[in-house]
Structure 1
Amino acid sequence: MPKMLRAVFIFIFAALAIAGAEWGKEIGSAQYLHYIFKPLTTLAIFFFAWRNQPVISRTYQTAVLIGIICSLIGDIFLMLPGTVFRHGFLCGLLSFLLAHICFLRAMISDSRFAGKPLAFAGIAALGIINLVILWPGLPTALHIPVVAYVCLLLCMTAQAISRGLQLRSLSGRLGLIGGLCFMLSDTLLAYNRFYIPITHSPLLILSSYYLALWLIAASVTSSPTEQGQDHA
C-alpha cells in the first residue's frame, strides 16, 4: 500500500475515533466508534512505522514499534469504563510509561543523551510547574505512578528535542515535534482529569496524541542524505 494511502487511512480512523469520543455522551451509539477506531488508529500507525523504508536504523525502528504497541495496550486500558475494569487508568499509565521508555531508547540510539542540556532544563521546569498545579487534584494512590510517568515523559520529550537539535535532519525534526505533541496531549489529559474540565477535550487530546504517534512513526524513515548511515 502506498505511503500516502496509509496516511489517509490513519487520518480517517483517527477522525472516527475522535468523533466517537466527542459525541459519545450525547449519542450513545457513537461511543462504539471510539471503542473500535481508537485502537485501530494506533494499529494503523504501527503498520505505517513498520512499512516505512528506508529506516534510520533497525534499532530505532524496533524501539519505536514496541513503543507503539505499548501505546496500543495503553489505549485499550484507558478507554475501558470503570465499571468494567477499575484499574484501567493505572494500567494505561504504566503501559504508556513503558512506551516512553521505548521511545527514549530510540531517541538515544543515534544521538548523545542530554546532548542539549538547556532542552532538559526547560522541559523539567515546565514539568515541575504542571505537577505543582495538578498535585492537589491527584488521588494519593496515583502520586508515585504519576511522578514516575511524568519523569519518563519529560525525559523522552527533552531527548527528542535534544536529538532534533543535534541531528538537524528530517527524522530529528519529526521526532522533536512528535515528542512535544505527546507532552501536549498528556498535559491536556492531566488538566482535564485532575484540574478542570476542558471544552472539547477528546478532540484536543486525541488529535495531538495521534499526531505525536504519527510523527514518531514517520521519524523512522531516513531522508536521502541520511541513507546509508547506520546508527544502530
Structure 2
Amino acid sequence: MITPKLAGGLRPAARAAGRRQVLWVLAAAFAVCSVLDLAAEAFGWDASADVFRTFALPLLIGCLVAARPPINRTIRLLVGGLLFSWLGDTVGEIGFIVKIGLFLVAQWFFIGAFWPYRARSLLRKPIALAGYAVLLVVLVAVLIRPAGELAVPVMAYGASLVAMAILASGLNRWGTVGGLCFVVSDTLLGMDRFYVLAMPDLMDFLIMLSYLVAEVLLVVAAVTAVRNRYDHRQLPDSRPS
C-alpha cells in the first residue's frame, strides 16, 4: 500500500515525465516539419515549403516552453527574437525590405538576450573579434554594390547580425556555432537575392538548413546557459563562516 507521503512524491515525478513527453513530441514534430521543409526547398516545391516553414519556428518555440528553463530576461527576449524570425519567414514574403526589417528586429532581440553574457564572449578576445570584423567587411563588400538603394538597410542588418553572433559566443560553444550559422544563412540569402546564381533550389535548401540549425543551436545554447547560471546561484554558500 502506498502511503500518502509517497503518493504525493510520485505526482511531481509524473508531471515531470509528462513534460518530458510533451517536449519530445514537439521536438519530433519540429524535426519532421524541418525535414519536409528542406525537401520542399531542394525540389522547388515552393507552396509546400511555405507551409512547413510556417510551422517550424512555432514548434521550436513550443520546445523552448516545454523545456521549462528558468524564465528571465534572456529567455523572454529569445522568444521575441524567434517570433520576429517567424514573422520574417512568413510576413516577410511580402517584400525583401519587409523581411530585412523583421529579421533586423529579431537580431536586436537576440542581442538583448545574449548581452548579459558579454563578459564571456569574444568581445574579450581581440584576435577572434578581429576575425568577426573581417567577416563583416567581407559580407558588406559582397552585398553592398548589388544592393543598390537597399545598401543602408543591408549594412545595418549585417552589423546587427555579426554583433549577435559575437554575443552568442558568450553563452557556450553551441551559441558560437549557432551565431555563425545565422551569418552563413543570411549571407546566402543576400547572395540569392542580389545575384543570379545557378541551382536556385540548392541555394534555398542551404539557406534554410543553416537557418534552422542556427535557431536550434541558439535555443539550446540559451537554455543551457540560463540553467547553468540559475543552478550556480542556487548552490549553497560554501565559504567558511
The interval holding the TM-score normalised by the smaller chain is 0.7 to 0.9
- Deviations for 1:209-230, whole angstroms, at most 9, x for unmatched residues? 0111111112232377544246
Q: What is residue 219 of structure 1 aligned with on the other side?
A: 221
Kept in 1, the 8 Å contact 2:144–2:154? The answer is no
Q: What is residue 99 of structure 1 aligned with on the other side?
A: 106
CA spacing shift, 1:63–1:14, aligned 2, 3 Å: same
Q: What is residue 4 of structure 1 aligned with on the other side?
A: 24
Aligned length: 208
Q: 1:196 deviation in Å?
A: 4.3
Q: What is residue 122 of structure 1 aligned with on the other side?
A: 131
Q: Separation in 1 of the partners of 2:188 and 2:43?
A: 19
- Secondary structure of the 2:116 match is coil
Q: Please tell me the residue identity of whatever aligns with 1:180.
A: L
Q: What is residue 167 of structure 1 aligned with on the other side?
A: none
Q: 1:89 deviation in Å?
A: 0.9
- Deviations for 1:70-98, whole angstroms, at most 9, x for unmatched residues? 001100134x3xxxx4xx11011011111
2:64 aligned with 1:49: yes
Q: Separation in 2 of the partners of 1:213 and 1:207?
A: 10
Q: Give the gaps of 5 or more residues in structure 1.
A: 25-29, 165-171
Q: What is residue 76 of structure 2 aligned with on the other side?
A: 62
- Deviations for 1:10-46, whole angstroms, at most 9, x for unmatched residues? 111112222223323xxxxx33211211020011111
Q: What is residue 156 of structure 1 aligned with on the other side?
A: 164
Q: Give the gaps of 5 or more residues in structure 2.
A: 1-20, 234-241
Q: TM-score under structure 2 normalisation?
A: 0.78
Tell me which protein shows more helix as a share of its residues. Answer: 2
Matches of residues 1-232 of structure 1 in structure 2 within 5 Å? Answer: 1-24=21-44, 30-55=45-70, 58-78=72-92, 80=93, 85=94, 88-112=95-119, 114-138=123-147, 140-161=148-169, 163-164=170-171, 172-197=172-197, 199=199, 200-222=202-224, 226-229=229-232
Choose 1 or 2 for highest CA Rg: 2
Q: Separation in 1 of the partners of 2:139 and 2:36?
A: 30
CA spacing shift, 1:225–1:101, aligned 2, 3 Å: closer
Q: Separation in 2 of the partners of 1:118 and 1:101?
A: 25
Kept in 1, the 8 Å contact 2:77–2:113? The answer is yes
Kept in 2, the 8 Å contact 1:97–1:152? The answer is yes
Q: Please tell me the residue identity of whatever aligns with 2:140.
A: L
CA spacing shift, 1:116–1:49, aligned 2, 3 Å: farther
Q: TM-score under structure 1 normalisation?
A: 0.81
Which structure would you say has the larger RCO, counting Cα contacts within 8 Å and 6 or more residues apart?
1
What RMSD in Å do the two structures reach over aligned CA positions? 2.1
Q: Please tell me the residue identity of whatever aligns with 1:176.
A: T
CA spacing shift, 1:127–1:197, aligned 2, 3 Å: same
Q: 1:110 deviation in Å?
A: 3.1
Q: 1:4 deviation in Å?
A: 3.2
Q: Separation in 1 of the partners of 2:73 and 2:130?
A: 27
CA spacing shift, 1:75–1:110, aligned 2, 3 Å: same
Kept in 2, the 8 Å contact 1:77–1:89? The answer is no
Q: Separation in 1 of the partners of 2:52 and 2:232?
A: 36
Kept in 2, the 8 Å contact 1:49–1:220? The answer is no
